[in-house]
Amino acid sequence: MDILKSRRRFLMQLAAAGTMLPLSSSGLAQYLLQGQRQAPRLKVVFFIVPDGLAVDAYSGPEHNGKGLWFPQAASDDTADFELNVVSQELAAYRQQSLYLQGIIVASGTGGHAGWQYALRDSNGQMSSIDKILGDAIPGTQPIHRSLFAGPHAGIDGTPWYVSWDGNKIRAPQQNPVRLYESVFGATAREVRDRQSRNAHVFDPIRADIAALSGRVAGAQREKLVTHLDALEQVAKDLEGAVPSVCEPLALEDHPISSAQYRNQVQASHHKVVAAALGCGVTRVATVQVGRSAESLNILDVSASTNPHDCAHRYAGEEVWRGSRQWYARQAKLFMDELARYDDPDVPGENLLKHTLVVLTSEMADGAPEHMLNMPILLMGGASGLLRSGSGNGRYFNIKSQGDRPHWTGGKYVDMQRIWSTIAQAAGTSVPYAGDVSAVTGIFSNVT
């Protein structure tokens, strides 16, 4: 006779009671965590930089796509390519990178208005892809379904934010210390509230054990007592649990509007988002670096020319190039931070192995201010779903799958189809009007 019909039933009852949240270091808690957290769960991060990544050359005709971003490739779909001046900043992650070309946002024009469309549908009417994914694949804390970090985004009072809930713009947390407090502090409060509300859920488990113990004796009864003791220990652990499996972060609270501390504030945002993903609190996050036409200087590039003017090439080629390299470098540093964590769902595997990082912008190039040939880089292990080649990375020009015509010639792939494709890879869909057919050849589970 199986004492509780199966050990799995016992564990499932505990999970239903809410005990699968991070507990203490007790043996049973660790056993439960290890026994239940085996299946890979995809995480997705959108890393958005402002004013494009210089897809066009410094001099020459607009829309030429021969600037500093796209790799120099031997064909439209190949692992034989050379990284460019800006994409070279991400060389450390080339092996798990897929560079896409041939994409358009909305009509391809609109300049700095692109923030209204970049992560959304082409009509700019529906929720952005990060919100859609967050609702579909939540982490352990539903209140943080889609984390939104905004290092220096809108600190000048201009709320050009790329994330949307329907037709309502979402405001990011600009201060990384406040972001950390809101994520982990709120988590603690929610867990305590849930524990208080759900304490009674243990009662049926206790009743099952009590009923069975009255019908058995000897070794079987001893097993039931062991189960009951374990249950009571879990209940006790819950009362004093710290709802985080990650070590606390030590963050300095720097002035977020000061160019002097720009690198430090940026790095702190990376740490908080990576910690939230590494703890399993959320599975979806957006990091919006600055905003379109941002004015806070990047001192590593220029103390006198702001990033917007750098993108417009007003101060020459050196700062134009340097500013785009700095933004790409931040994405690399964020990848480094993700790589520090173990995956919260698959013991013994790295967080980056099960994360997809999407690097893009609200426009393609900041000088002509267009949204044609958008820079899109997909990085990370993505739980094995991303078709990034066989060890050397991959360049993939998808213009042949285009659906939206442009006067420069031919058709381009509407950005909303990229979001639709990612959504399908994550097991959901987008509610967008128009063409939302998947782009083939990007993910192994989407055709």
Q: Residue 39: its pLDDT value, please?
A: 85
**Residues 295, 268 within the same domain:** yes
**Residues 261, 394 within the same domain:** yes
> Residue 97 sits in a domain of what CATH number?
3.40.720
**Residues 264, 375 within the same domain:** yes
Nearest to 19 by CA among 272, 238, 304, 287: 238
Q: Residue 141: its pLDDT value, please?
A: 86
Do 417 and 439 contact (CB within 8 A), yes or no? yes
Residue with tokens 């985080």: 244
**Residue 244 lies inside a defined structural domain of this protein:** no
CA distance 198 to 210: 20
**Residues 73, 201 within the same domain:** no
Q: Residue 24: its pLDDT value, please?
A: 30
**Residue 330 lies inside a defined structural domain of this protein:** yes
Strands 43-49 and 355-361: parallel
φ and ψ at residue 153, rounded to 5 degrees: -80, 115
Question: What is the identity of the amino acid at 12?
Answer: M
What does the pLDDT profile of the chain (447 residues) look like in tens digits? Answer: 454 444 434 434 443 433 333 333 333 333 344 445 578 999 999 999 999 999 999 987 777 788 999 999 989 999 999 999 999 999 999 999 999 999 999 999 888 899 999 999 999 999 999 999 999 999 988 889 999 999 999 999 999 999 999 999 999 999 999 999 999 885 454 445 554 555 455 667 667 767 777 777 777 777 777 777 766 666 654 443 334 456 789 899 999 999 999 999 999 999 999 999 999 999 999 999 999 999 999 999 999 999 999 999 999 999 999 999 999 999 999 999 999 999 999 999 999 999 999 999 999 999 889 999 999 999 999 999 999 999 999 999 999 999 999 998 889 999 999 999 999 999 999 999 999 999 999 999 999
Question: What is the identity of the amino acid at 320?
Answer: W
- For residue 20, the enclosing domain spans 7-36+190-239
**Residue 246 lies inside a defined structural domain of this protein:** no
Q: Residue 111: its pLDDT value, please?
A: 83
**Residue 432 lies inside a defined structural domain of this protein:** no
The burial class, CB within 10 Å (0-12 / 13-18 / 19+), for 303 is: exposed
CA distance 275 to 331: 16
Q: Residue 212: its pLDDT value, please?
A: 73
DSSP 121: -
Q: Residue 184: its pLDDT value, please?
A: 87
Q: Where are the beta strands (DSSP E) in 103-210?
A: 103-104, 147-149, 164-165, 168-169
Strands 97-101 and 394-397: parallel
Enter the tokens of residue 97. 């990178």
Return the CA Rg of the chain.
24
**Residues 156, 23 within the same domain:** no
CA distance 300 to 295: 15
CA distance 219 to 224: 9
CA distance 106 to 215: 70
Residue with tokens 């769960």: 41
**Residues 220, 88 within the same domain:** no
Residue 18 has a CB neighbour count (10 Å cut-off) of 16
Q: Residue 231: its pLDDT value, please?
A: 67
> What's the domain count of the chain?
2
CA distance 211 to 5: 13
Residue 239 has a CB neighbour count (10 Å cut-off) of 11
**Residue 433 lies inside a defined structural domain of this protein:** no
